[in-house]
Chain A
Amino acid sequence: MERKRFIDKVAIVTGGGSGLGRALCYSFAEESASVVCSDINIDAAKETVSGITNSRGKAISVKVDVSSANDVENMAKAAIKEYGKIDILINNAGIAARQGLLDTKEETWDTMTAVDLKGPFLVAKAVIPYMMERDYGKIVNIASVAGVVGCVSSAYTASKAGLIGMTRVWALEFAPYRICVNSVAPGFFATPINEALRKSPLGEKLAKQVPLGFGKVEHIVPVVLFLSSSESDYVTGQCLVVDGGLSGTRDFGPEYWGFDKGKK
């Protein structure tokens, strides 16, 4: 697709050093955006940036721990210093772990909510004033299907559900400044981290519960780009679940569908 939807636009992607964040940085740059790639791992962020600049795109890297107000303010300032404005913010940085409530230590709760929930709060607070100045902005918060249905862990689900809630408040609060705020909630995705799980018998069972099968990063990127582009100028306060139909309802399996037809 040879489209250039982000000519003269400046996009910040947090957690841009790997996975979805890196794929988003590449895609924004391909469509001509100037990219601010932030990551707590500066080497990873730099690698993303070289990937972009090697193909003549524009990008800078910034080391940022999104749970640090100081880091986050520096990131916004770096973006302004380099590119003069911020049009698009993707709150992508996040951490996750499967864990039962009774096994969750207070420290784990604090760390996870600091990155996954307080992080987007701090980042938005630092970036939105620059968007308000110019009466324009697009914010996409990367939530999770765990914020819509209960799964993964208390701290993760609480953070992601909170992020979806903040999305709605910001949509309302900053609509007068033409800032659109939406969230994207990915479902079950094939990543290097869950490779062993996916290849196990349990993984095969799980895959069958997703109508369209496990997702890929390539499935999420265009959805985020859509919400960052002028094509979605009247969409705000929404949570777009990208889960291959997982959370829509429940497939009880072939026995259920065939029940009234008697024996197979």
Chain B
Amino acid sequence: MRLEGQVAIVTGAGQGIGRAIAKTLAGEGAAVVVNDIDLEKASKVAEEIKAQGGKALPIKADVSKRDEVNNLVKETLASFQKVDILVNNAGIAKLTPSLELDEEQWDSTIDTNLKGQFLCSQAVARHMVEQKRGKIINIASLAAHIGTPGLLAYSASKGGVVQLTKVLAVEWGKHNITVNAVSPGFTITELVKSVFEERPDVFEGVDRIPLKRPATPEDIANTVLFLASPESDYVSGQVIAVDGGTLSIHPRMVKPLE
């Protein structure tokens, strides 16, 4: 058990990658606060964790709302007295041509994906500074590294997440808080399915991924676990792409030699 006695908050853990992260951390002994904007989904994941003998507490919060985030941390401390690990996972995405992107969608995407990570990190770090220890893992995206058509607000928010990660790593290093990001490659989740259900015509398939398969939520969760564990105590300010080699592809798509 690599996280015995530790307390973790995972935002947006009601489904997809967040759910896999919550279950993986709980499987290694952490008490996990399963946060989601949808309490029903969060409760279901918490029940799954408990059924496997783990510790979990579902808490509803919209990460883009300061009061709700403060309450999330307050309730966590009330139940578990501390927070060792924060996984900023909650995020939204919708494929929209940039000329049609309205201000509301821009705002809500930035608020949830970027401001949400800021608010959660700040609220949790106030506590981590006191205990002189903490691990923050931010979920970014390949969209933070390469231009993805139709994902303007999402890509901007995730690019912001990468820089937020680096600034906080440097600022909070002296408090023994490490801050890193994980950029998942193409992962089959509810969110991704919903994106491509709307626009199946733009999906090119997984053939272009060097490892020839999409990521599983567990692939991402394993790297998050690594960054949450003492094994990565000297890793800070980094972004790990868990992408099956996608970012290594030559932009002109030269095929591997057979």
A residues apposed to B, CB below 8 Å: 1, 168-169, 171-176, 178, 180, 187, 210-212, 215-216, 219-220, 222-223, 225-226, 231-238, 240-245, 247-251
Contacts and interface: CB of A to CB of B under 8 A. Distances in A.
A232 B222 contact: yes
Contacts of B238: 240-242, 248
Contacts of A187: 234
A174 B212 CA distance: 12
B236 A212 contact: yes
B232 A175 contact: no
A51 to B, nearest CB: 22
List the 6 closest A-B pairs by CB distance, nearest first. Answer: A211-B173, A248-B237, A237-B248, A175-B210, A219-B234, A222-B231
Contact of A234 (B176, B232, B243, B256): B243
B119 interface: no
B161 interface: no
Given A172-B249, A212-B173, A234-B244, A249 B166 contact: yes
Interface of B (DSSP majority class): mixed
Contact of A1 (B2, B240, B245): B2
B245 A223 contact: no
B99 interface: no
A233 B216 CA distance: 10
Nearest to A168: B248
A242 B216 CA distance: 26
Given A172-B210, A178-B211, A251 B170 contact: yes
A3 B145 CA distance: 34
A244 B167 contact: no
B184 to A, nearest CB: 9
Contacts of B248: 168-169, 171-172, 236-237
Given A172-B250, A175-B244, A175-B245, A211 B185 contact: no
Contacts of A237: 210, 241, 243, 245, 247-248
Contacts of B178: 212, 245
A244 B234 contact: yes
A117 B171 CA distance: 35
Contacts of A233: 219
A249 B244 contact: no
Contacts of A176: 210, 212, 256
B177 to A, nearest CB: 9
Contacts of B171: 251
Nearest to A225: B231
B210 A235 contact: no
B240 A240 contact: yes
B207 to A, nearest CB: 11
**Listed residue (B172, B226, B232) with the most chain A CB atoms within 10 angstroms of its CB:** B226
Given A1-B2, A211-B170, A222-B232, A235 B240 contact: yes
B125 interface: no
A244 B2 CA distance: 21
Contacts of A242: 234-235, 238
Contacts of A220: 234
A183 to B, nearest CB: 11
Contacts of B212: 175-176
**Listed residue (B176, B236, B242) with the most chain A CB atoms within 10 angstroms of its CB:** B236
A175 B256 contact: yes
Nearest to B225: A231
Contact of A236 (B216, B232, B235, B244): B244
A175 B258 CA distance: 11
B233 A219 contact: yes
A238 B247 CA distance: 8
B173 A234 contact: no
Nearest to B184: A234
B42 interface: no
A124 B37 CA distance: 48
Given A175-B244, A176-B256, A212-B178, A236 B210 contact: yes
Contact of A238 (B170, B173, B240): B240
Given A171-B210, A172-B248, A222-B231, A234 B219 contact: yes
Contacts of B65: none
**Listed residue (A180, A212, A220, A247) with the most chain B CB atoms within 10 angstroms of its CB:** A212
A231 B222 contact: yes
Given A231-B226, A235-B242, A242-B234, A173 B256 contact: yes
Contacts of A174: 256
Interface string B157-196: 0000000011101111110101000000100000000000
B96 interface: no
5 contacts: A171-B248, A222-B230, A231-B225, A236-B210, A243-B234
Given A236-B245, A236-B248, A247 B215 contact: no
B78 interface: no
